[in-house]
Structure 1
Amino acid sequence: YKSEKNKFNPKPKSSELKLANKKYTPISSIKLSPDGKQLLYAYNDQGKIRIVVRDLKSGKEKQLFKYGYKNVFQETDFNYPILAWHPTKPEVSFVYEHRDVIKLVKYRLDNDTKMNQLIPTDFQRIYSLSYIDDLNYIFSASLDGFSDLFLYKSKNRNYERLTNDFYDDLDAEYTVLNGQKGILFSSNRTTNSIKEIKLDTILPLDHFDIYFLPDGSSEAQKITQTLQFSERYPYMMGQNKIVFTGDASGIINTYVYNITDRKTNPVSNLDRNLIRHHAVKGSDKYITTYYKDGMYKFFEENIDAEKMVTPQMTQSAISSEIVTLPILPITEEPKIIENSIDEKFKFQSQFDDPAVLDPIKVRQPQPEENKFQVNINNAQLSKKPIEPYNNTRAIAANNKFALNNITTKLDNDILFEGLESYTGDRQQLLTTPMGFLFKANVKDLFEDYALEGGVRIPTSFNGSEYFLVFDNKKSRIDKRIALYRKSNEYNTQNEPNQNFLTRSKKTSILGFYQLKYPFDIYRSVRATTTLRFDKFLQLSTENNSFESPAINEKRLSLKVEYIYDNTHDEALNIKNGTRYKFYVEAINQFDLQVIDGFAFDLSKGFTGIVGFDARHYIPLLNKSVLALRASGATSMGSQKMLYYLGGVENWFFPKFDNSIPVRNDADFAYKVNAFHLRGFNNNIRNGATFVLTNAELRIPFMQYILGKNRGAAFLKNMQIVGFYDAGLAWHGKGPFSPENPLNKVQIYSPPLIELEVEYFRDPLVMGYGVGLRTQLLGYFVKADYAWGIETRKIQEPKFYLSFGLDF
């Protein structure tokens, strides 16, 4: 690098322009106004586009148009927008693409009016745009995969194809050259004729040259002619010069073609590739942009076309020339030295001497040249005739499946919504116990189909979970079919005067069908229907249990969700972006019995649910994040949902608060935990409606010490967290409704005492504290130390240890 330090001539800092874009945001398109006084440019921040006009004298900028959103998951398309100035009026036009639809916008700068027009769907892609007059444009575009030149008439949305061949015609600019109006463009064609050419079996891979096509002519004039290098982006500059970019030196530099003497001169010697440039006929100003020092820089200068500059050749450019390689010297065989043998050393034998043998003929090496020549870039390979396509030999491809992965781990994640039926034992609802999970995933070659099956056995070995999931992603609408079975045995809560132990068994079977329709990569709507069977059975432990009937429940549900998610992971548990979902669900309990008698009831109970969950992640201090969350749901109908607030998800040692009463005069379909509310046990509040908010500041402090993505996983993923939670749950119309049993205590001592005491207890509970997170043995472990606030009183702190990411 030191040897090359003084061999290049970078742009002077005095010519640099400070534009409104962020230093890491690329400028995808730049265009000078015809008089050179204004600059139109667009910058592209990962798909979020802004088009700005700048007065070069005053430096004032005005945003004309913006569209799109950041997309970090797909490659950014820097082809759009495409900009153009009207040659005589204060008007600009630009082309952009929205959901595969190409749109043309005309914008008047004097009155800020704009006109939108849909480009005909025949056009697959547009590469350049140039005005002819008020209504007509020149396009470089593709209809069938090949880029050609088109005359587009915006008045009636018609177009005329000017070239129709398999060559690439790009960078079209309508201009006047030597008194002739025509199109200046770059192409990799090998002929000047623009007549229609049928598709050859091999596409052209030649380098690009500059051409000029006069109006009405069938022959293009070749401006440059180089065999090994390409010239692109030609523009008229001044009255008799064409400025374009070329890579003859191995680095994209600026070149000027003088129309008068027909000479081409390099006018820059950059140490990096030029990204964009522009010049106009009515000015000698020249605008360029390239990437340097971690940012996209912009320069305004005047070119001295008479000054000779010799660009420094790179190694790749040197290797494009014919190089001479020495060959290895020929090694001659050693000569056999024949010496006469003394008589006394001759070998004696009783056998006669053999017949005289003919001498061995040694092939003499042919003389070779000391050197040979080879062109590295144009090495001639042996060519075989191209075999014509024969459809009778074609074989239809079948789906090919392969085992994608096998997972064995210890976890307690919730599977399939985690809803527990309220009927049966009415036991406490705690977090899912730890279990051994075994699952395998099979996918086809194109990942259109996936099959996953697994089993989880709790560490207490008192139950099991089985699931099988099939995904069909071949079409736009994704389909999922799943089967799930869960069973577990547990001790039943005994009555006060009951001296014996009872055990129960609960079994749930779900059939699951889901349709997912994506609007784009961030937004989708999902419809899920579920058929569920729950069975509750008291196991035989004593005489009374033999007579206990089994309870069977059957429910059919439909859930519709709208989901938006543009989050991405900057690091483990460090996200950026926003995601939310809104959902409605209808659950109907029915009865259909054909064994031990016939029973049919279309609707024994109905549950309606409306809910949301929204999360926003704000990046801070380069590597940290402030995570915000709000969630809530309400249920209605003859059978409601019962939500328990308190605790954390995947808590290792969950506890249930029995001091908070549950409404006994209501009928509930399911019970479910609403996490996270730290500082309390499960059931600090309960109700058919809940609202919960969380805020976490996550600081990966070891990354500030070690650097990003450095060190072992245990260290680089270690985070210190400060958090604040708040939530409330209630029955009835509001938190202070008399239907809430929160503020009531009933005291019974029959037959003399029966009291109901009312007192104030704030329905809103809050918690705050600190935590530590890190990755340990492949698991993301969370440790939290929190203080709860109930009825404006700070409670004793609680410690939580759990698995899982995010909230």
Structure 2
Amino acid sequence: MKNKLYLFLCFSLLGTLTRAQTTQTEFGKNRVQYHQEFKEWSMYESRNFITYWYGEARYVGQAVVQIAEFDFNEIQGMLEHRINDKIEIIVYKDLTDLKQSNIGSEEAFENTGGQTKIVGNKMFVYFNGDHKDLRRQIREGIASVYLNAMLFGSNLQEIVQNAVMMNLPAWFKDGLVGFVGEKWNAGLDDQLRDILLSGKYKDFDDIAEDYPKLAGHALWYFISENYGISTVSNLLYLTRINRSLDSGFLYVLGSSYPHVLESWEAFFKKRYEAEVANMREPEGLVKVKNKRNVPLTQLKISPDGTKIAYVANEIGRYKVWIQDVQTGERELVFKNGFRNAIQATDYNYPLLAWNPGGFQLAVIYEERDKIQFLTYDLQTRDKKIEPVPNQFQRWYSAEYINATDLVVSAAVRGQSDLFLYFTLNRQSRRLTNDFWDDLDASFVRVHGQRGILFASNRLDSLNQKMRLDTILPIANYDIFYLNLDDPDAEELVRVTHTPDVDERAPVGLDEKWFAFATNESGVYNRKTGYLEDYIHHFENVITFEDGTEMRLPADSVIAEVLDSAAYTQIKTIVRDTIYKTRAIHHFNSNFDRGLLSQSAALSTRRLATAFRRNGTIQFFVADPDPAAVVEPAYTAFRQQKIEDLTTTETPAPETEVPAQPAPEKPKENYSFQSGFEEPEPDTAKVDVDNYLFQSEFDETEIPLTQTEVTPETDEPNLTIQQQLTWRPEYANNANNKKVHDFRPGRITPYRLKFRTDYVTTQLDNSILFDGLSNYGGVPNDFGYPPAGILFKTNFKDLFEDYEFEAGIRVPTSFNGAEYFVVYKDKKNRFDKQIAFYRRRLRFSNQLLNPLPPTQMRPPTPATDRLEEEIVLGQYQLRYPIDVFRSFRGTTTLRFDNSRQLATDDFAVGQGQRKLQHLGFRLEYVFDNTVDVALNIKNGTRYKVYAEFLKSFDLSFTDGIDLNKGHMFVMGLDARHYQRFWKHSILAIRVAGSSSFGTEKVLYMVGGTDNWLFPKMNTDIPRPDPGNGEFVYQSVATNARGFDMNIRNGNSFALTNIEIRMPIFRYLFRQTQSAFLRNFQLVGFFDAATAWQGLSPFDDESPLNTFVNSNNAVTVRVNFFRDPVVFGYGGGVRTVLFGYFVRLDYARGIETRTLQSPKIHFSIGLDF
């Protein structure tokens, strides 16, 4: 006993700061592959990264390579840390494909006690149409890899340094990753302003509990602004070294951790309260029923302005509503999806678009990775669904331009461009084709012409086919205008030109005015404007004698351009006036919260807007005057940013033009994207607008000086725009950083690479492979695996499509061993699994076949020894319906062999007991649970299964004999976890199973899962193993307050009800002690029964019958036992020596009699 205790303590220490879980019933979630594009992957190795992509994600992959290398040195310098290995980036073309990836799937056995996780350097990014957001993902991914390397250390250090990450609050890492991922901006500032001014949170810790990333980002921003950017890396280093957040703050900042938090709160509250005093609340609130505070998106107002349509999206389960603005009555138009709390919610879909007639609403959604176009008729309530052609990877916005056609912003081959989509024939026409991002497309009418306003991060106004080279599309967004009635135009109208400001969400108000959102004041406010024509420049049109024409700038010297022969052929020279379109706009609002989205009714000029106020999305409908000029209040953050820009570079002027500017010939600015030879002089029409070329030069191209020419004739009452001489610094040239030269020749096909994902050494007594034990060939008191030392490891390929898992478990009594090997193939829609399991154990036992009373065994000092061997092979096929639901079919081939060891001459002749079975099992599994804390889940999971086993006899001499027994097994295991009081849960479990046929399973009720010191109740009779009716046995838990076998039979049913309350989470917000952090008080109630036959209440049940016989007389005694037993009590749960341990004090009720108390000590999580 002392040796066992010693081993228990030793191997508990090996699993420090880890946990063990029960594996009685395997549930698990799924990843579903809807297409075959994942079969072929490509890879590209650059200086610091290895990037992988597939199929049509090639252009996204190229952008990822260049952006990652572009930002790498900055992030490395910020964190002041280096890693030796290259970071691996896995690129997906959209969020839907990322969700189909197998990376991060659950293990076959969830028992992770003592796990030594080999921290990987993989990061995953996807394209959502916005390269700025793609850049944020890349930067956050790099920061996460670096932080894991800094805080976890190498593999040899992890057992010690594991504690650091577990004890740090969530905001520490999440906030630092966000801080590195993107600078503090107007959007983040607006979110924090709303949270702090809502009055719902009293301090930083309260905010960090609900918004760890935002709160952490704000704190790191506050520290960097007030203490310097270098303090970030210093604080990170000392926190890791001292393993204490408090000491890190004190040593680096000179202030205690609580004092810094108080300063942070005072800093931002003072700032925000002063800001909103000069701002206004939006008008025209439309009340929307939203008791559960579900995110509301896609606000669209009907063409007549009387209705709004919107989407309520509850973590993937979305509903489309139409609501009357005046009465508030609403109608459910469409619902789809399912709640998914384990993967990122896709708020991009569904998209909404009102038909100009106002009687139809288009709903564009995605189902099984296919875009669907649904049309809902408000009059007939009819729905029509058509698929969108597969060329589109994803739609980002859609708006009708007439009754049948739409303008959409969509991704094709990894580029977000503009298209016209024709619903009658499902054809499309491309409007832009370049690597810039084109989003928020909105239809407008200007001077009787059709056009599109959209947001883009392009640096020029040319509409030409372009491929990514050396200029990255990571600049801020401006608004552009595209004239649909001039499809051959190669130039767009630039509405705004603000390199340090974002403009989004343009909408047309009427045939003159339009509006868009801008964060120029630090809060997303509304600007309104209109387009007008102006004189851009003059040209000389030269006609020659042969009828040909040539255009030259009006200030050019013709004699210097033409040779003498050509000069003599000039017939006429005419001065031509070149007109272009420009935008005039001004501020039209001064909101106290940032404008999230807006939609306009063209016929009424009504505007619907969405804001986040007090943590809730609110809708407003108003009739703003677009001509009104409103001066917004600039936030403190924006004012500081303007000051910073003023000290570092010339401030960028607005594109708004004075009423009567002096005529001036524009100056030219050139930059180039690709190398070229000196061009020949062009005699065709000369466009003197700014050109943008992508290339790298040692010196900046200097524009030629132009001579100003005054017009000689009277011109219309128009103004000539003064060309801005200020040239914005391109995003990729900031701080003279060089863009990686992407070389397509370096792209190579991906080949399988396997690596170890984890190595486990732990104390374990969980049941593997469904836990059916040989009933007739084991000791009578055997029912649960003895505690053993489990060694387990696995190997996975990079994408975790293929996995090998192997392990061995040796009991602490060292009387045998268990081995298993599992291979998984999850590459395609059907998941495959092949498993092999072998167990060999030896016991001290009586003879297998009891001797007749007349036969006396000779006295011997030897002890009878029994050896049991199980060899099992499984092949499983899974068909995942979605993330939570799946069908599973398993084929099992099992061989059981129990034999008496030759401890003496008498035991030699006892023979052996062999069982051979072929089984088929079908399961339906549902699992949407979420682990919110250790042993605390939310959600529901259940399994329904049926199994058929056929016994046979296979030998080399006699062949195969199928004339044996058979068995049917049916069962259910359902569990629900309901949260209450914020941190606690009510857990309910219902389980049952029944076996029937010529062979059966004996279920023994009693005890708990993973009971370390199980006891067997010998007072309850069990069937005679010699009659062959029961071939397997299994333990049915929980039935606390009783030993195992308080009831038995070929069927069982039980229910467990638990309340789990992490008491110290109510007393302390944060604690570094794993013992206190995971300490839980538990109250429980169990009810269970097992029986033979059809009913547990049968009077002839063996439970109520006792038979005693000799050669002359047989006595049969019937008495009453209540078939159902009850147990209740309380317990505690916590982490001790790195293991999750359970201690329960229970009282049982049997046949209406209260039993003596029992103590159950177990390891592993509850059900």
TM-score (norm 1): 0.86
**Hey, what does 1:98 align to over in structure 2?**
367
Per-residue deviation, residues 628-666 of structure 1 (Å, max 9, x unmatched): 111122222221111111111111221212222223456
User: Contact 2:1051 / 2:1092 at 8 angstroms: preserved in 1?
Assistant: yes
Give the C-alpha shift of residue 189 in structure 1: 4.4
**Hey, what does 1:281 align to over in structure 2?**
602
Aligned pair count reads 753
**Hey, what does 2:972 align to over in structure 1?**
612
Give the C-alpha shift of residue 79 in structure 1: 0.8
| Equivalent position SS for 1:254 | strand
Q: 2:734 aligns with which of 361, 379, 383?
A: 379
Give the C-alpha shift of residue 163 in structure 1: 3.7
- Structure 2 residue 334 is matched with structure 1 residue 65: yes
**Hey, what does 1:668 align to over in structure 2?**
1030
User: Contact 2:778 / 2:868 at 8 angstroms: preserved in 1?
Assistant: no
Distance across 1 between alignment mates of 2:643 and 2:355: 42
**Hey, what does 1:690 align to over in structure 2?**
1052
**Hey, what does 1:736 align to over in structure 2?**
1097
After TM superposition, the structure 1 = structure 2 runs for residues 695-710 of structure 1, keeping only pairs within 5 Å, are: 695-707=1057-1069, 710=1071
User: Contact 1:700 / 1:718 at 8 angstroms: preserved in 2?
Assistant: yes
**Hey, what does 1:356 align to over in structure 2?**
none
Distance across 2 between alignment mates of 1:723 and 1:4: 49
**Hey, what does 1:366 align to over in structure 2?**
none
**Hey, what does 1:399 align to over in structure 2?**
752
Q: 2:355 aligns with which of 86, 91, 106?
A: 86
Distance across 2 between alignment mates of 1:247 and 1:762: 73
User: Contact 2:444 / 2:511 at 8 angstroms: preserved in 1?
Assistant: no
- Structure 2 residue 478 is matched with structure 1 residue 208: yes
Per-residue deviation, residues 460-504 of structure 1 (Å, max 9, x unmatched): 222222222333333343333332221111121476987764221
- Structure 2 residue 771 is matched with structure 1 residue 418: yes
Instruction: Give RMSD over aligned pairs.
Output: 3.0
Distance across 1 between alignment mates of 2:505 and 2:649: 34
After TM superposition, the structure 1 = structure 2 runs for residues 583-594 of structure 1, keeping only pairs within 5 Å, are: 583-594=945-956
> Which shows bigger deviation, 533-542 or 273-282?
273-282
Give the C-alpha shift of residue 420 in structure 1: 0.4
**Hey, what does 2:437 align to over in structure 1?**
168
| Equivalent position SS for 2:964 | strand
2:630 maps to amino acid: M
**Hey, what does 1:786 align to over in structure 2?**
1146
Give the C-alpha shift of residue 607 in structure 1: 1.7
Structure 2, unaligned stretches of length 5 or more?
Answer: 1-267, 534-582, 651-726
The percentage of counterpart residues that share the same residue type is 40
Give the C-alpha shift of residue 620 in structure 1: 1.3
Distance across 2 between alignment mates of 1:786 and 1:324: 74
Distance across 1 between alignment mates of 2:511 and 2:748: 61
Distance across 2 between alignment mates of 1:384 and 1:607: 68
Per-residue deviation, residues 106-140 of structure 1 (Å, max 9, x unmatched): 22333433222222222211112222344333322
User: Contact 1:412 / 1:434 at 8 angstroms: preserved in 2?
Assistant: yes
| Equivalent position SS for 1:417 | helix
User: Contact 2:821 / 2:837 at 8 angstroms: preserved in 1?
Assistant: yes
**Hey, what does 1:43 align to over in structure 2?**
312
Give the C-alpha shift of residue 374 in structure 1: 11
Distance across 2 between alignment mates of 1:747 and 1:604: 31
Distance across 1 between alignment mates of 2:402 and 2:283: 37
Give the C-alpha shift of residue 200 in structure 1: 4.6
**Hey, what does 2:587 align to over in structure 1?**
266
| Equivalent position SS for 1:379 | helix
Per-residue deviation, residues 77-96 of structure 1 (Å, max 9, x unmatched): 11111112222333222111
- Structure 2 residue 20 is matched with structure 1 residue 20: no
Q: Looking at secondary structure, tell me which structure has more strand per residue.
A: 1
- Structure 2 residue 487 is matched with structure 1 residue 217: yes
**Hey, what does 1:357 align to over in structure 2?**
none
Give the C-alpha shift of residue 617 in structure 1: 1.2
Q: 1:309 aligns with which of 616, 620, 631?
A: 631
In structure 2, the CA distance between the partners of 1:28 and 1:89, relative to structure 1 (3 Å rule), is closer
Give the C-alpha shift of residue 66 in structure 1: 1.7
**Hey, what does 2:1156 align to over in structure 1?**
796
**Hey, what does 1:352 align to over in structure 2?**
none
Give the C-alpha shift of residue 520 in structure 1: 2.0
| Equivalent position SS for 1:725 | strand
In structure 2, the CA distance between the partners of 1:205 and 1:408, relative to structure 1 (3 Å rule), is closer
1:679 maps to amino acid: G
In structure 2, the CA distance between the partners of 1:251 and 1:432, relative to structure 1 (3 Å rule), is same
1:389 maps to amino acid: P
1:145 maps to amino acid: G
In structure 2, the CA distance between the partners of 1:250 and 1:3, relative to structure 1 (3 Å rule), is closer
Q: 2:808 aligns with which of 447, 451, 455?
A: 455
Give the C-alpha shift of residue 182 in structure 1: 3.3
Give the C-alpha shift of residue 315 in structure 1: 4.0
Per-residue deviation, residues 254-288 of structure 1 (Å, max 9, x unmatched): 21114479421123445664322223223454333
Per-residue deviation, residues 482-538 of structure 1 (Å, max 9, x unmatched): 322211111214769877642211111222332333222212222222222222121
1:503 maps to amino acid: R
| Equivalent position SS for 1:275 | strand
After TM superposition, the structure 1 = structure 2 runs for residues 319-718 of structure 1, keeping only pairs within 5 Å, are: 319-320=644-645, 323=648, 378-379=733-734, 381=736, 386=741, 388-390=743-745, 396-425=749-778, 427-493=780-846, 501-594=863-956, 597-664=957-1024, 667-707=1029-1069, 710-718=1071-1079
Distance across 2 between alignment mates of 1:134 and 1:114: 17
Give the C-alpha shift of residue 68 in structure 1: 1.2
**Hey, what does 1:772 align to over in structure 2?**
1132
Distance across 1 between alignment mates of 2:747 and 2:605: 60
In structure 2, the CA distance between the partners of 1:163 and 1:623, relative to structure 1 (3 Å rule), is same
Distance across 2 between alignment mates of 1:292 and 1:506: 68
Structure 1, unaligned stretches of length 5 or more?
Answer: 326-372
**Hey, what does 1:108 align to over in structure 2?**
377
Give the C-alpha shift of residue 676 in structure 1: 1.0
**Hey, what does 1:257 align to over in structure 2?**
529
> Which shows bigger deviation, 772-781 or 7-16?
7-16
| Equivalent position SS for 1:604 | coil
Distance across 1 between alignment mates of 2:639 and 2:920: 65
Distance across 1 between alignment mates of 2:307 and 2:785: 65
2:976 maps to amino acid: H
Question: Quick one: higher RCO (CA 8 Å, sep 6+), 1 or 2?
Answer: 2
> Which shows bigger deviation, 419-428 or 123-132?
419-428
Give the C-alpha shift of residue 243 in structure 1: 0.9
1:308 maps to amino acid: V
2:1161 maps to amino acid: L
Distance across 2 between alignment mates of 1:691 and 1:72: 31
User: Contact 1:130 / 1:139 at 8 angstroms: preserved in 2?
Assistant: yes
1:39 maps to amino acid: I
In structure 2, the CA distance between the partners of 1:762 and 1:194, relative to structure 1 (3 Å rule), is same
User: Contact 1:579 / 1:614 at 8 angstroms: preserved in 2?
Assistant: yes
Q: 2:612 aligns with which of 281, 291, 294?
A: 291
Give the C-alpha shift of residue 712 in structure 1: 1.8
User: Contact 2:436 / 2:458 at 8 angstroms: preserved in 1?
Assistant: yes
TM-score (norm 2): 0.61
Distance across 2 between alignment mates of 1:476 and 1:738: 51
Distance across 1 between alignment mates of 2:891 and 2:815: 29
**Hey, what does 1:336 align to over in structure 2?**
none
Q: 1:235 aligns with which of 497, 507, 530?
A: 507
> Which shows bigger deviation, 31-40 or 471-480?
471-480
